[in-house]
Amino acid sequence: MKRDIETKKDIKLMVDSFYDKVNANKVLSPVFNDFAKVDWDSHLPKMYEFWSKIIFAKGDYNGNPFQAHVSLPVDAKHFAQWVELFVENMDELFEGDVAESTKTRARSIAHVFESKLAFMNKR
């Protein structure tokens, strides 16, 4: 039986396993690794803090996640793939109200980012 997200250790598991999927994905991996050349040793701790802030309303994250995505070559297919992997990862690891809320927040974040980027690219 799976349990809900309860601790920062759970968030670390969620983030690490999700980005393992991203790095193995033929649509997303090139954006993160070839184009953005993400330094995973510095990126993952930021993601732990970001999701801690989202899930538990505490954490040291105070960045601007949208700005980090403005220059990336992404479109609707990238966001759809990101959401699919995120939900798949969550469903493999957790179940409960917090897990469901986290999936909803992730879908919302992806939708907002995709919409804002599409608007910016039409100008």
Tell me the per-residue pLDDT of 33-63, one tens digit each, with 9 for 90 and over: 999 999 999 999 999 999 999 999 987 788 8
Residue 123's pLDDT is what?
57
Q: How confident is the model at residue 120 (pLDDT cuts 50, 70, 90)?
A: confident
Q: How far apart are CA 72 and CA 39, in angstroms?
A: 15
Residue 21's pLDDT is what?
98
What is the residue-averaged pLDDT of the chain?
Answer: 92
- Tokens of residue 81, six digits: 């793939």
Tell me the per-residue pLDDT of 68-104, one tens digit each, with 9 for 90 and over: 777 888 899 999 999 999 999 999 999 999 999 999 9
- CB contact at 8 A, 96 and 3: yes
Domains, the chain, ordered by start:
8-122 (1.10.490.10)
Look at phi and psi of residue 18 and say left if phi exceeds 0, alpha if psi is from -120 to 50, else beta. Answer: alpha
Q: How far apart are CA 113 and CA 119, in angstroms?
A: 10
